[in-house]
Amino acid sequence: MGSVKVIRCSDAGFDCDAVFRSESEEELMAQVAAHAKEAHNLTEITEEVVQKVKSIMKVEA
């Protein structure tokens, strides 16, 4: 198993305990985008949002 990328919703400033993990950055971003739309009513995922999310991405061994 390779390195796993992790994003915690709370690291993006939301009062939310959702955590997403995937070996694929594309899959991880898709999970986060779906969650943002469903849980936080984010109707548009702008490039600024994408960059913020990528900046809080961590890697677990």
pLDDT by residue for the chain (61 residues), tens only, comes to 579 999 999 999 999 999 999 999 999 999 999 999 999 999 898 999 899 999 999 999 7
Q: Quickly list H helices, 1-61.
A: 25-40, 47-55
Q: Which pLDDT score is estimated for 32? A: 95
Q: Which pLDDT score is estimated for 37? A: 94
- Count how many domains the chain has: 1
Q: Which pLDDT score is estimated for 61? A: 73
Residue 47 domain boundaries: 4-60
**Tokens describing residue 30:** 């898709």
